[in-house]
Structure formats: C-alpha cells, structure tokens
Amino acid sequence: ILNVEQSPQSLHVQEGDSTNFTCSFPSSNFYALHWYRWETAKSPEALFVMTLNGDEKKKGRISATLNTKEGYSYLYIKGSQPEDSATYLCALMGNTDKLIFGTGTRLQVFP
Amino acid sequence: NAGVTQTPKFRVLKTGQSMTLLCAQDMNHEYMYWYRQDPGMGLRLIHYSVGEGTTAKGEVPDGYNVSRLKKQNFLLGLESAAPSQTSVYFCASSQLDLAGVKSGPFFGPGTRLTVL
C-alpha cells in the first residue's frame, strides 16, 4: 500500500515570508513524484515531476527537492505572495502505475 | 486542443439511481485516472487505466465500475448511488515515456455529484 503523507496540514504565513512543506513516501516503491498546486474550485495544476534522487526543480519562486533514499520531498516558496494561497499536493507514482496523492498542505498567505 | 473534459459538471441523484460520468482526453494519453475529492481526504484514486481495454482498482473502488473501450474515453459508473458517494470527481490523464513521466497527469475540471 502506497502511503503518501504531507505536513503540515495547513500553514498561515505573512506576505514576504518564505516557507516549506514536506511530502513523505515509502522509499522502496518509487517511480516518480509529482507536485501540484490546487486552488479552490479549480483543477489541480502540475508544478513539478521529479524522478531522480537529488533532483531539484524550480519554477519562479517555487522550488522542490527530492530524496528517494529516505523517501521525502520538500517544496519551498520564497517570498510568499497572497496569490500563492492554495493547497499543495504531492503524488507518488510507484511501480504499479497508480498515482497516489497525499492529503495536501493548505497554505494561506496574508497581506 | 481541449485537454481533459468531463461531463456532466454537476449532477444530483437519488439513492439507488445509476449514472455514468464521462471523461474524454484529446492528447492521445495512455493512462487515465478517476479520483474523488472529499474534505480533509485529498484526492483518492478510484480506478485507473493504463491503456485501451484495461482497467485496474485504485484505493477506493467499491461501488464504482469503469470502462475504457476507446483510448480517449474513460467512463465511471455508479450502479446504485449512495449518499457516501457525494463528492467531487476528477479525471486525469498522463503519458509516460521510457525515461520517466513525460507529460501530465492533466486534470479535468471536475464533476460535482450529490446523492440525496
């Protein structure tokens, strides 16, 4: 059973703060890790796909790292803005082709 | 290029009624997924398909059936709807290449289903 866990469950930060959250997954069953940004009433939007241990990806102020040996990925947001407010989901694809999501980290950025 | 589309967008059913949700993608993707989204539960995988004519169970398959008769379509059926199936349903599709994930998954806009 693939168990993907995200922490914290929710996060409130001030505009300009940098923040990060964690996605943990079983290291023995790894094929790829996805990060999504999900705004209320919209579809999840793909941010990153990571496949190799040590991968680092960046998109504007958002970046992510991957450690497949210990089974975790970090998502960082530098200088948070109110428009960054959303739920951030990670999803693990193991070797069974299933894509299993964590429950997400709900980020709220206050002006 | 419409991407991933879902019909209907909204539906209200009575307990015991049946219905089919349609997901269509025009990206020639092999993989398609059905998820349900409930408060505090994130996205949970119901069923998925790795190609035309194949389907497999996800995390929460009970009470649902699926079919993938054509590559571009993935149908989710509820034979006898129950209030516990009130949820928002998302379809997604993706394509893998030999080096890893090539593109997607891309999500449809969702179907909001209420079972009374």
Tens-place pLDDT, residues B65-81: 999 999 999 999 999 99
Q: Give the pLDDT confidence of B53-110 residue by residue, as tens digits.
A: 999 999 999 999 999 999 999 999 999 999 999 999 999 998 876 555 556 688 999 9
Bridge pairing between strands B10-13 and B111-115:
parallel
Nearest CA in chain B to A2: B59
pLDDT, position A84: 96
DSSP state of B63: T
- Closest by Cβ to B45, choosing from A31, A34, A99: A99
CB burial of B34-71 (b: ≥16 within 10 Å; e: otherwise) equals bbbbeeeebbbbbbbbbeeeebeebbbbeebebebeeb
Which residues from B are below 8 Å from A35, CB to CB?
Answer: none
Residue A91: Cβ-neighbour burial (10 angstroms; 0-12, 13-18, 19+): buried
Q: Give the pLDDT confidence of A60-99 residue by residue, as tens digits.
A: 999 999 999 999 999 999 999 999 999 999 999 877 778 8
Q: Give the pLDDT confidence of A27-65 residue by residue, as tens digits.
A: 887 888 999 999 988 889 989 989 888 899 999 999 999
Bridge pairing between strands A72-77 and B54-57:
unpaired
Nearest CA in chain B to A1: B59
- Closest by Cβ to B100, choosing from A32, A99, A102: A32
Chain A residues with CB within 8 Å of chain B CB: 31-32, 34, 42-44, 46, 49, 51, 89, 91, 93, 97-104
Which of A30, A93, A97 has the highest number of chain B CBs within 10 A, making it the mutation to test binding with B? A97
Our separate counts of H helices and E strands in chain A read 0, 11
pLDDT, position B92: 93
Integer Cα distance of B17 and B32 in angstroms: 25
Long-range contacts of B83-88 (CB under 8 A, 24+ apart): B83/B15, B83/B115, B83/B116, B84/B115, B85/B36, B85/B113, B85/B115, B86/B113, B86/B114, B86/B115, B87/B36, B87/B37, B87/B38, B87/B113, B88/B36, B88/B37, B88/B38, B88/B112, B88/B113
Nearest CA in chain A to B102: A49
